[in-house]
């Protein structure tokens, strides 16, 4: 069984055909998926998916790209996370690619999420883009290692991966690792210890080869696993076993299907 550790099934491209999406998951042996929250306004829809489907789970958080949305404080996140199907805090982090002026509100929001994760004992789902140095600095300053979590859709250097691993974090690869031009990232995917590796789709974005350019979905996480197996020259079953075990170890509130 495979697990998609990061998807956005509440986004319009997927939400209007959830039954299809779940059927493809089943056909591809993808037995669990984590539905990621990006703003509080949409959180009820994310939670609704997790409540309706036993093998879907939810996170609560506000993505760093979302300016001018309902701003969470620690107490609010802690309260929303107090639900058996909410198993992590995020996605949160820093994104200076889309917010080129590196606004203070992003860093403040990230700190709030880390504090909430520590208080709830639920791990963090961290997004970082063009902001690795500040991301790691804030993780250290706020004691993110105590909550643990994952660096999702990882696209940074080996040095950044190593720093995150030292803080106890997992590294998750998306369909980007299947892209032919992602040479440096493929090298990182070879080096991350097998017991700290996760796979994800970040669907509806970033469809892996051979579906590149289409609307991505959790069932296609298998292609990410296949590429990692190829890069490391190990059987697909080893990647499947390791990434699934890792997922349930990190997100310990998720019930593993029998």
**Does 127 help bind Zn ion (rule: CB under 5 A)?**
yes
| CA nearest neighbour of 88 among 165, 11, 13, 169 | 169
Query: Which residue lies nearer to Zn ion by CB, 36 or 47?
Result: 36
Q: How many CA atoms lie within 13 A of 129 on its CB side?
A: 14
Q: Could you give the C-alpha distances from 215 to 7, 24, 231, in angstroms and in order? A: 12, 13, 25
Choose one: 66-74, 98-106, 113-121, 127-135; the region binding Zn ion (CB under 5 A). 127-135
The Cβ of residue 91 has, within 10 Å, a number of other Cβ atoms equal to 26
CB closer to Zn ion out of 152 and 186:
152
The verdict on 107 binding Zn ion (CB under 5 A) reads no
Which is closer to Zn ion, CB of 115 or CB of 127? Answer: 127
Closest separation in Å from C-beta 159 to Zn ion = 20
Distance CA 193, CA 170 (A): 9
Which of residues 36 and 198 has its CB atom nearest to Zn ion in the complex? Answer: 36
Do 117 and 149 meet the contact criterion of CB atoms below 8 Å apart? yes
Only one of the segments 16-24, 27-35, 102-110, 124-132 lies at the binding site for Zn ion (rule: CB under 5 A); that segment is 124-132
Closest residue to bound Zn ion by CB: 127
Q: What is the three-class DSSP state of 129?
A: strand
Binders of Zn ion among 161-200, rule CB under 5 A? Answer: none
Q: Which residues, 6+ apart, have CB-to-CB distance to 92 below 8 Å?
A: 61, 62, 63, 64, 109, 110, 113, 114, 124, 125, 126, 127
> Considering the complex, what minimum distance in angstroms separates the CB of residue 98 from Zn ion?
11
| Largest Cα–Cα separation, the chain | 48
Interaction between residue 122 and Zn ion (CB under 5 A): no
Residue among 152 and 230 whose Cβ is closer to Zn ion: 152
* Smallest distance, Zn ion to C-beta of residue 128, A: 9
197-216 residues in contact with Zn ion (CB under 5 A) are 202
Task: State in angstroms the smallest separation of the CB of 36 from Zn ion.
Answer: 5
Cβ contacts of 17 within 8 Å, gap of 6 or more: none
Q: What is the DSSP letter of 206?
A: -
Determine the size of the site formed for Zn ion (CB under 5 A): 3
Q: What is the C-alpha to C-alpha distance for residues 230 and 243, in angstroms, rounded to an integer?
A: 15
Return the number of the residue (103 or 194) whose C-beta is nearest Zn ion. 103
- Closer of 78 and 151 to Zn ion (Cβ): 151
Interface with Zn ion by CB under 5 A: which range of 9-17, 34-42, 96-104, 190-198?
34-42
245 in Cβ contact with 235 (< 8 Å): no
Q: Among the candidate windows 31-39, 100-108, 174-182, 238-246, which touches Zn ion by CB under 5 A?
A: 31-39
Binding site for Zn ion (CB under 5 A): 36, 127, 202
């Amino acid at each position: 069984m495979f697990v998609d550790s990061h998807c956005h099934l509440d986004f319009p491209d997927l939400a209007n055909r959830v039954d299809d999406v779940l059927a493809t998951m089943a056909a591809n042996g993808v037995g669990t998926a984590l539905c990621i929250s990006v703003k509080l306004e949409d959180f009820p829809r994310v939670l609704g998916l997790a409540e309706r489907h036993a093998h879907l789970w939810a996170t609560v958080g506000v993505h760093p790209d979302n300016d001018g949305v309902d701003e969470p404080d620690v107490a609010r996140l802690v309260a929303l996370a107090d639900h058996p199907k909410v198993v992590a805090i995020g996605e949160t982090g820093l994104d200076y690619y889309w917010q080129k002026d590196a606004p203070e509100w992003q860093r403040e929001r990230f700190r709030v999420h880390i504090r909430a994760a520590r208080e709830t004992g639920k791990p963090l789902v961290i997004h970082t883009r063009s902001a690795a140095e500040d991301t790691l600095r804030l993780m250290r300053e706020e004691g993110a290692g105590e909550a643990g979590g994952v660096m999702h859709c990882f696209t940074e250097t080996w040095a950044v991966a190593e720093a995150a691993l030292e803080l106890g974090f997992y590294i998750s690869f998306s369909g980007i690792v299947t892209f032919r031009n992602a040479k440096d990232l493929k090298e990182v995917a070879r080096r991350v210890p097998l017991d700290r590796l996760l796979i994800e789709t970040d669907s509806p974005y970033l469809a892996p080869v051979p579906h590149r350019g289409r609307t991505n979905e959790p069932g296609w996480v298998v292609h990410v696993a296949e590429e990692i197996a190829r890069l490391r020259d190990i059987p697909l079953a080893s990647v499947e076993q390791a990434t699934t075990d890792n997922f349930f170890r990190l997100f310990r509130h998720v019930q593993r299907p029998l």
